[in-house]
Structure formats: C-alpha cells, structure tokens
A and B are shown apart, each in its own frame.
Chain A
Amino acid sequence: MIWSRLKNFEDMRGCRDIHAIAGILEDMGQQKVSRAVEMILDEGKAGTEEDMTREGSLKVEVRENHPDFYIHIDNIEEEDDLARLSPELGSEFQQVFLVTSAFLGRGDDELGRSLMEDFLRELSVSEVVPQSVVFINSGVMLLCEDSNILQELMNLERRKVRFFACEKSLDRYGLRQKLCVGTPIKIYTLVNYLAGANKVVTLG
C-alpha cells in the first residue's frame, strides 16, 4: 500500500535551522513558499506576524523570534472548510478554557502532565471546541518549544481556536522567545477577557 504524501501543512515551529526549513518547504513543492523562504534568506530577517504571500489558496505567515523564524503555512480554502465543519460555540455563548498549569489534577506530576496532554489531544479532535484557551503559570510551557502537543494545538488554531499565553508567566519561566503557539497577553487584558466570557472552564 502506497503512502499518500498529501501534505499542505507543515509545523516548523521550534526548528532553528532556516536552511533545513527551506529544504523541507521545497520538498512540499510549493513555489510560493520557496519564494517566501528565499526572501528570508536574502534579507536575513522576516516581518513580525506578516503574511508573506496571499496568492491563490496558500497563506504563508512568518514570525521572527530571534534567533528563530516561525513559519506557518496554511491552505486558506481548507482552513475555511474546517471552520465551517467545526460546530464552534458562537459569540453569543463564548466559552473560554483557562489552563492554570502544565499538569491536570494534583498528585503525581508525570501523570498530571500526561493527563493534560491527553486532554488537549482529545480536544484537538473533538467536534465542539472552545473559542479560546488562556494559559497561565506553568500552563504556558504547553505552548512553547519542547511541548509534546504543539501539532495538536496548531490543529485547534486552524479551527479558529485562539490561544493566549500570560506574559508574566512566560517571563518567569524564560519562555518568551520559545513561544510557538498563541499570543502573549498582559494580566489586565486577561482580566478583561475572562470577565467578558460567558463561561470559563478552568483546567490545571
């Protein structure tokens, strides 16, 4: 049985070698992506959260996070399809998950980490997903390099789930430069955000 290589989505976050990224993207046969990578190589830098191209159905987003580049490639049509298929809870019933720790439950830490990863993994394939997930304290580790569930979180992101990481927590753990998924937010934004939600589910 032949293996289908029908991939139009690649997670490069955490990869520090720009030449390796270029090689992998070229393997994908996406000329537009290759051009975007050439731009980075030529200029030696990339715009922050800038869409490098929006030609056709391909979206290439490059974020410089010194000394790394995070490149996010999406098929826009597919993204729309996924969004349509996902029975996401609407704005009238805004549901927010608050992840307060990298561990789910108290007791054995190893078990707690495994449970949290399992939970987010299941969430990534769940039909119903929250509108956003906010990570605080050690929960921010789940969004950073070396997290085992980056791919799952990115899948959720493609389904329009928004991720936020507490800035103070990122700084405390020295993870500001290693954030791979989501946007850093300050505490006062977090307060306003949670206060405005219709329902908050706390995990940790």
Chain B
Amino acid sequence: MDNVEKEKLEELAENLVYRGENVWEKVSEEEKEKIFALGEEYKSFLDKSKTEREAVQEIVRAAKEKGFLDLKELKDGKQIKPGTGFYAVYRDKAVVLGVVGSAELSRGIRLIGSHLDAPRLDLKPQPLYEKHDLALFKTHYYGGIKKYQWTAIPLALHGIVVLQDGRKIEVVMGEKEDDPVFTITDLLPHLAAEQYRRRLSEAIKGEELNVLVGSIPLKGEGYKEKVKLAVLERLNSAYGIIEEDLMSAELEMVPAGNARDIGFDRSLVGAYGQDDRICVFASLKAVLDIETPEITAIALFVDKEEIGSVGNTGMQSKILEETLYELMKITGQEVSLYKLLSSSKALSADVNAAIDPTWEDVMDKLNAAKLGFGVCLTKYTGARGKVDASDANAEYIAELRNLFNREGILWQMGELGKVDQGGGGTIAKYIANLNIDVIDCGMPLLSMHAPFEVSSKGDLYMGYKAYKAFWMDS
C-alpha cells in the first residue's frame, strides 16, 4: 500500500471511526491540577460521609455555606428569585438541593439524581451477645455484597441511637487514629477444609457476619454473661444508652479508615462507598458552583437505592414531587405537576462497572466502560434481556452527546457486563416512570460494592463538568 492510500485510510478512519479518549492524554497541565485538587476535595467528602445520614449532614453544611435556604422555612416567594439556592431534607436520610432558574417552572426542571446509601453491615435490632467469653454484634447485611470480603478487615461503627425520649445519640467509633476498631473473624486455613468446599457465595454466610466487640469480663460472681455486660457498661458510660435503646437505632458497620490515592501516579481513588458517593459529590459540587440556570436545577440525593429504591427515603417515595409542589407553592407558580415533570430532563447519576484487566471476560470489550476515559453514559441496565431497565431514548442521547462534545467533556458509553452475565439497576427507571427523559450518567468503578472501591480522578472531573454543563444548558 503506498503512502497516499495509507493517508486516505487514516483520514477516513479519523472521520468515521469512534475512538474513546483517555482523559490524562487529553487534558492540559492546568486541567490536570484541577483534577487533582478536585480529587482531594472528593476524598475529604468521602471521609465525612460514610453513611447516608452523614452524607446528608455534609451536603446541607456545604449548601448552607453557599447561602442555600431551607425550603421548609420559606413562607412565601419573597426570598426566592432566579439564582436562589434551596434545600429540603427528608428524615435526615435524603435531601434535595435546587437552584431556581430564570424560566417558569412550566418549562420543567433539570434533574440529577444520585443515591447516598452504600452496601454495608447493619446491626440487628438485638445485636449484642456473648459466646466463649467474647462479645459480638450480630449484623444483617445491606445491599449486594460479597460477604467474604468483609471478614478480617478493620470496621468502624457509625450511626444513631434514638432514646425513648426522642434524643438522638450520634455514634462514630473506629475512624480516629486512637479509636478502637471492630472486625469479623474468619476461619484459619489450617481448619478450613470444610469451608473450602462451600460455594464462593456461601463461603461466609449471612449469620456468620458477627463482629467482635470485646473480651474483658466484669469482675464478680453471679451474672453469667460478664463480657456482654462489660460492653453494655462501656456503651452506657460513653453514650448513656442501655441495651433496649439498640432496638431504636440505625448502626452500621463500615470499613474503617480514610480514602486513599491509588497508584504511583496517584490518579485513582480507593475508598469505601464510592457507589454512589462519587456521583453525589460531583453533582453536589456542580450544583453549588452553577450561577443562575435558565431551567431550574434540582440535585436529588436519595437513600435505599441498593435495596430497590424502596421506603420513604428512596426514589420510589414522593420526595421529588413534594419538593416541587412546595417550590410551586412558594414561587406562586401554578403548574400541573404532570406537565412540569414531562417537560423535564434528567440524569440518573450512578456508577457503572469499568473493565477490569483481571476479570475482562465478564465484559463485552466493545461496550465496556474504561477507567480514565471520562464520564459514562449507560443507555440501559437491567439483566437478561434488559429486564427491569430504563432504556434511554436515542433522541435524548443525541442531545447529550451534542452537549458534552460541544463543552469538551470526555465521555464514554458503557454497558454493565456481557449479555446474560448478570446485571443491575439504578434509580433511572423510577425517574422514567415520572415521564421524564433520563439516562444513567456516572463514573465507572473497579471493585464495585467491595469495601474498597476504585475510581479515577479524571472521570470524576469529567463527571463534575458534565453535570454542570447539563444544568447550565438551556
């Protein structure tokens, strides 16, 4: 082949063939600095937001700092004008942030929804017991975990205990350098012959996820379970609680420790709970940074996605509708809620699986997201023939492609694994049920749902830019 023909082919390929682009190869040195600065902010957010309640607190703190107003405290529309930021908290486990647009609400809203909950181990209502002179907590895992990943690692206790009189006691133990941590013990290999015969999914069973919490008995004769009693005494002196109080508590065991940089080049973040707090952080940062949008911007942070978006703090509750109803009431705009929703557009900000070099066989390489190749659009999720998926409309994808390409945002299209390999879902289908155009748009992760998930700082930056552009687009 002569050089002319070769050049022609290359030109043709350049014009016709889609090629994903690596963020790190594409960005300027100045942008690279911004990426790393954003990464530092992100890690700090993760460290402060290990549960959905803590994330809500952090979101509200950041919103107040930027002058956002509590929607529930606004009596009339006087304080509300284009550019006003507001927030509404629901049961301390879900929150809606918004920035009022210059256009009427009849033009709809621009919604970005993400979820605050992450897989974890919840303490059972009666968790504490003693066996063989050790005190342990029984747990009930929350969300899709590989149970064996949670043994023999340091765990921290986070959550609240609500006393009979309604007072809330916040508990965080295991995060400070001098805090004790907790752990789930595993069987030594020497005696694991029978355990080795178990299927991997049953290597550690749900009822074996028992957390070691103490071993010193109280001195004296009489009461049999002296180690358990000693733990209760410590809990009582530290927090003023008694055993029955644990029944009105939401206490979660999560991996102890802070988010860390991964790799010699520090390009990646390793931390617990990045599904979906990476999208929570990117959309929080974006909504706090936008000026007055034309269309009202709404950032929705919901709970319970990992167990089916159920409950009164999940996406299937009426949190969004209630917020919009309140907003209409305060601004004096009488719009049909159906009309408002059907005129709206949304991004379901949730993570997707990045291709893992060690486990590449579960992915269709042509359609898999790659770490470091930008924010990921996922047309559909679901399992076995797109069952239970919201399949985004082609027209809407074209619109977003146009926006992202115009704004220089590196993006990629991802699919959750090979057909018939498995599957998953997000809040997208519940947003779609509201007659809103929606697509999943989030960052790819490695080791999703593991105690230590991996993300790319480059993707986070592109996600932040994408969310900002989405809200500022008219």
Instruction: Digitize A3-20: 1 where CB-to-B-CB distance is under 8 Å, 0 elsewhere.
Output: 111100000001110001
Instruction: Digitize B306-320: 1 where CB-to-A-CB distance is under 8 Å, 0 elsewhere.
Output: 111100000000000
Secondary structure dominating the interface of B: loop
* Of B87-95, B380-388, B457-465, the one with at least 4 CB within 8 A of chain A: B380-388
A2 CA to B384 CA in the complex, in Å?
A: 15
Chain B residues with CB below 8 A from A45, complex form = none
Is A2's CB under 8 angstroms from B424's CB? yes
Smallest distance from the beta carbon of B389 to chain A beta carbons, Å? 10
Q: Is A121 an interface residue (CB 8 A)?
A: yes
Given contacts A15-B199, A121-B361, contact A4 B422 (CB under 8 A): yes
Q: Is A24 an interface residue (CB 8 A)?
A: yes
A15 CA to B384 CA in the complex, in Å?
A: 26
A4 CA to B388 CA in the complex, in Å?
A: 9
For A16, the closest partner residue in chain B by CB is: B197
Is B426's CB under 8 angstroms from A2's CB? yes
Q: Is B321 an interface residue (CB 8 A)?
A: no
Is B424's CB under 8 angstroms from A3's CB? yes
A15 CA to B194 CA in the complex, in Å?
A: 11
Q: Is B305 an interface residue (CB 8 A)?
A: yes
A6 CA to B382 CA in the complex, in Å?
A: 10
Q: Is A195 an interface residue (CB 8 A)?
A: no
Chain B residues with CB below 8 A from A6, complex form = 383-384, 387-388, 423
Q: Is B144 an interface residue (CB 8 A)?
A: yes
Q: How many A residues touch the partner, as a band? A: 10 to 19
Given contacts A6-B383, A6-B387, A121-B361, contact A1 B199 (CB under 8 A): no
Is A3's CB under 8 angstroms from B387's CB? no
Chain A residues with CB below 8 A from B361, complex form = 121
Smallest distance from the beta carbon of B418 to chain A beta carbons, Å? 8
A15 CA to B275 CA in the complex, in Å?
A: 34
Q: Scan residues 377-433 of chain B and give those whose CB is less than 8 A from a CB of chain A.
A: 381-384, 387-388, 416, 418, 422-426
Q: Scan residues 1-44 of chain A and give those whose CB is less than 8 A from a CB of chain B.
A: 1-6, 14-16, 20, 24
A181 CA to B361 CA in the complex, in Å?
A: 23
Q: Is B276 an interface residue (CB 8 A)?
A: yes
A20 CA to B194 CA in the complex, in Å?
A: 13
Chain B residues with CB below 8 A from A20, complex form = 198, 202
Given contacts A15-B199, A16-B197, A24-B202, contact A1 B350 (CB under 8 A): yes
Is B202's CB under 8 angstroms from A4's CB? no
Q: List 10 A-B contacts (CB under 8 A).
A: A1-B350, A3-B424, A4-B382, A4-B383, A4-B388, A6-B423, A16-B197, A20-B202, A121-B361, A125-B418
A-B contact sample (10 more), CB < 8 A, given A2-B425, A14-B197: A1-B275, A1-B352, A1-B381, A1-B424, A2-B307, A2-B308, A2-B424, A6-B383, A6-B384, A125-B418
